[in-house]
Every structure is written in C-alpha cells, then in structure tokens.
Amino acid sequence: KNEVEQSPQNLTAQEGEFITINCSYSVGISALHWLQQHPGGGIVSLFMLSSGKKKHGRLIATINIQEKHSSLHITASHPRDSAVYICAVALNTDKLIFGTGTRLQVFP
C-alpha cells in the first residue's frame, strides 16, 4: 500500500463546477503539500499546511491530522485549472513522499 493515496486518479468537470481532490496518508507527518503540475511539466507549490484550512483565490486546502486526510477544493473551476494535482507529505525531516497525482480536465 502506498503511503500517500490520492483520489480520484482522473477527474473531468464542466467549467464552473466545484471540484474536490482527496489525499490520505498512513505516516506521521510534519506538513502536507499540494502541488500543481501544468501540461508543460512545470511544478508549482499551491499550499503547505499542517493543520486546519488555507485559502488562495478559488483554491481551498484542508487537513485533518487525526484522520490523516486532506482535501483540495477548486470553486468555480475553469479550463485553465486543467493540470495534475499532486499531494505530498513531509515526514519529520525535509523529505517528501508523493502521491500519484490527480489529472484534472475542465471543459468549457
């Protein structure tokens, strides 16, 4: 079993829909990262969180440390949100363990 599991693996949506991507992990962590990888390959850090909730524009990330679960929400999705979203957990060092990613396609 992978230490970091993401669901769904693939997701399609119509523009404007509310989107949720889930991440579950099985190890003790110091922080959890959500990353976005564009079709061109570049990776951008969206959020880093260790508790509660963070919001940036239309993106919201939540984490429940007790349940070892995090969600990434996108409100009012847009075709430019199409990308691969990757969850990564930081152990008690700087080492990151990555999920396999969720490929999101938003159609106009």
Partner 1 sequence: DAGVIQSPRHEVTEMGQEVTLRCKPISGHNSLFWYRQTMMRGLELLIYFNNNVPIDDSGMPEDRFSAKMPNASFSTLKIQPSEPRDSAVYFCASSLAVGQVYEQYFGPGTRLTVT
Q: Footprint of partner 1 on this chain (CB under 8 A)?
A: 30-31, 33, 35, 41-45, 48, 50, 86, 88, 90, 92-101
The order of strands in the sheet holding 19-25 is 4-7, 19-25, 69-74, 59-64, 52-56
* Single-letter residue type at 108: P
Report the nearest approach of partner 1 to the CB of residue 36 (Å).
Answer: 10
Report the nearest approach of partner 1 to the CB of residue 15 (Å).
Answer: 28
CA distance 52 to 107: 31
Given the complex with partner 1, which of 31 and 60 has the nearer CB atom? 31
Given the complex with partner 1, which of 17 and 103 has the nearer CB atom? 103
